[in-house]
Amino acid sequence: MKKLRIVMSICFFLLLLFPVIKLNWKENVVSKIDNRILTNNPFGPDYEPENGMDLTDGIESYLEDRIGFRDAMIYGYTALNDKLFHEMVHPTYMYGKDGYIFAKVGMNISLEEYHFVFADMVKQIQDYCTKRNVPFLFVFQPEKAALLTDKLGAGINYNDDWVAQFKQALDERGIHYIDSSDVLQEKLDAGEQVFNKQYNANHWNDLGAFYGVNYMLETMKKDYPGIHVNTKDEFDIEQILHTTLQVSEFPIHEYESIFYNHAKLIDKTEAYNVELRRDENFGHFEYTVNEERLKEGPPKTLVFQGSYMNEMGYKFMENSLGEYIAVHDYQNVIDFDYYYNIFKPDYVVFEVAQYVISNSYFDYGRMTEMDLNPVLDSFRNLPVEERKLTEISVEVAEGKALVTINVKGLPQGTEYAWLEIKGEVFDFQKKKGEENPGEEEYEVTVEKDKYYPNSLTVMCIDKDKTGIMKYE
């Protein structure tokens, strides 16, 4: 009997020890069960403590995240609660009514100074485009809970009154925008499933994307009649079964209509992908050409877009447009002029979902510092002082697709600077010097086939705007 107790004690001890032995030591790991970056080793180089966390908190969080069989334990606990109590114990999702699943709802948002700064940024981008005779469209996408509020669980106090106030701020600034809410609500009222009940808790599905993108295209068509609006018969539509929630192993059983594009595309993404600057966390980029649509006269379109378009909406843009250039909008759109001067589009779209208008995706400080160049032609009537290009420093970095021109030594007090190559004007971005932060540098990136080293002219203007300095 004593031996049996010893054996049982050893087995129990090993059972407790085994998850510790199986500790996950890999750094920068994303959990498949809850799509979260696990805490890194508090003593390692990759550790970044959250606000207010001390070393003890970091160690505790690390052990909780890295204990062996973590995902299996979370899955078992979650599945058991679902089966026994129809209760979802999950860090990302929550049950609604009638079998609906939503992303967990946080605190209700109130309109604040941040939203006005965001609207000012959109206005500045629109003005930049308008002054260059390029149409601009801002597209606002509603979140799932906004249109299916009646399907949220009991006790959920959801309020998005800030949206109407934000749209009023857009109206006051004269921003050209659309809100997909009305068209999606119309389809929901007609019984069409434009949001999945379960599989995708945040976004529209392919059917919702079809209607939402068509609304966008119909609006763009007012400026460019050659834009094609999609029809369902242009796609293969198949029913796909989902057995787990998105980025989770939570079991479900739901069919979804997936649209497959027939269009024959030339993919130019890789030609730019390595050299094109993007935020390290939001790097989505696509550049496709639809030669069949090019014949119909659509605009070369630069779209700053989020996950609604990156995951579903892109295929409908590919089918409709001749040249479709997509850049992940989070943080990258604040560098708007960088992308504009590379691609020189005929139309610009900035698409954003309701729940991402926040500092995590669009940095407040950088938005307040945005200062896009005015059009050089607006100063052509000013006196010009001509100088030699050799009086300033011009450094060139050539890649396979892109060329970056960096200029130093412009007069102190320079407000804006432009680069002219064979009559085409590009806008320099002002930046702090890497070697000497007190010195201002000016940088612009252009496509390589537009770069002619013997045809460079640099022009600048000071804050008083009394004259143009020209270097060639």
Q: What is the pLDDT of residue 433?
A: 75
53 within domain boundaries = yes
Taking residue 335's Cβ as centre, other Cβ atoms within 10 Å add up to 16
Do residues 364 and 339 lie in contact, with contact meaning Cβ atoms separated by under 8 Å?
Answer: no
Regarding whether 158 and 34 lie in a shared domain, the answer is no
Closest CA to 143 of 130, 152, 132, 135: 152
Asked if 353 and 391 sit in the same domain, the reply is: no
- Distance of alpha carbon 318 from the chain centroid: 18
Q: Are residues 175 and 281 both part of a single domain? A: yes
pLDDT at 243 over 60: yes
**276, 393: one domain:** no
CB proximity list for 8: less than 8 A, separation 6 or greater: none
What CA–CA distance (Å, rounded) separates 312 from 169?
29
Q: Which residue matches tokens 């085994």? A: 18
Q: How confident is the model at residue 16 (pLDDT cuts 50, 70, 90)?
A: very low
At 372, the pLDDT band (50, 70, 90 cuts) reads: very high
Mean pLDDT of 68-87: 58
Distance from C-alpha of 329 to C-alpha of 231, rounded to nearest angstrom: 27
Asked if pLDDT for residue 107 goes beyond 90, the answer is no
* pLDDT value at residue 104: 87
Residue 15: pLDDT over 50: no
> Which single residue is written with the structure tokens 């270097």?
471
pLDDT value at residue 17:
47
Domain span at residue 26?
1-68
> Does residue 168 sit in the same domain as residue 226?
yes
Asked, for residue 87, whether it belongs to a domain, the answer is no
User: Is residue 150 pLDDT above 60, yes or no?
Assistant: yes
Task: Indicate the range of 6-20, 69-83, 174-188 predicted with least confidence.
Answer: 6-20
Classify residue 93: in a domain, yes or no.
no
* Of the residues 326, 344, 369, the one at which a domain ends: 369
End position of a domain, from candidates 68, 98, 123: 68
Mean pLDDT of the chain: 88
Residues in the chain: 472
* Residue 273 pLDDT exceeds 50: yes
Do 284 and 139 reside in the same domain of the chain? yes
Rounded distance between C-alpha atoms, residue 180 and residue 127, angstroms: 23
Judgement on whether residues 144 and 288 belong to the same structural domain of the protein: yes
pLDDT band at 244 (very low <50, low <70, confident <90, very high): confident
Q: Are residues 310 and 381 in the same domain?
A: no
**Distance separating alpha carbons of residues 170 and 357, to the nearest angstrom:** 14
Residues 358 and 399 both lie in one domain: no
Residue range 374-406, pLDDT digits in tens: 999 999 899 999 999 999 999 999 999 999 999
Mean pLDDT value of segment 335-361: 97
Percentage, residues of the chain above pLDDT 90:
73
Residues 170 and 252 both lie in one domain? yes
Flag whether 359 is in a domain.
yes
Q: What is the mean pLDDT of residues 283-297?
A: 97
pLDDT at 20 over 70: no
Residue 1 pLDDT exceeds 90: no
Residue 348 sits at φ, ψ, to 5 deg, of -125, 130
Q: Are 320 and 410 in contact (CB under 8 A)?
A: no
Put residue 287 in one of left, alpha, beta given phi > 0 → left and psi -120 to 50 → alpha.
Answer: beta
Per residue in 172-212, pLDDT (tens digit) is: 999 999 999 999 999 999 999 999 999 988 899 999 999 99
Whether 76 is covered by a domain: the verdict is no
Q: Would the pLDDT of 170 be above 70? A: yes
More confident residue, 304 or 14: 304
pLDDT above 60: residue 368: yes
Q: Which of 44-48, 231-235, 277-281, 419-423 has the lowest mean pLDDT?
A: 44-48
**pLDDT at residue number 169:** 99
For residue 9, is pLDDT > 90? no
Question: Given 354, 369, 384, which residue is the final one in a domain?
Answer: 369
Q: What is the arithmetic mean of pLDDT over 273-297?
A: 96
pLDDT band at 220 (very low <50, low <70, confident <90, very high): very high
Tell me, yes or no, whether 204 lies in a domain.
Answer: yes
* pLDDT grade for 90, boundaries at 50, 70 and 90: confident
**CATH value at residue 435:** 2.60.40.10
* Ramachandran angles phi, psi of 202, nearest 5°: -110, -40
Query: For the chain, what is the domain count?
Result: 3
Average pLDDT over residues 54-63: 62
* Domain presence at residue 77: no
Structure tokens at 447: 């496509």
- Do the beta carbons of residue 214 and residue 202 sit within 8 Å? no
Instruction: In whole angstroms, give the CA distance from residue 459 to residue 386.
Output: 9
pLDDT computed for residue 88 by the predictor:
65
The verdict on 270 and 171 lying in the same domain is yes
Confidence of residue 141 (pLDDT cuts 50, 70, 90): very high
Judgement on whether residues 345 and 398 belong to the same structural domain of the protein: no
Residue 18's pLDDT band (cuts 50, 70, 90): very low
| DSSP symbols for 168-221 | HHHHHTT--EEETHHHHHHHHHTT--SS-SSS-SSS--HHHHHHHHHHHHHHHH
pLDDT in tens, 415-442: 999 999 999 999 999 998 777 777 899 9
The whole-angstrom separation of Cα 29 and Cα 38 is 6
**Any domain includes 33:** yes
The answer to whether 302 and 232 are in contact (CB under 8 A) is no
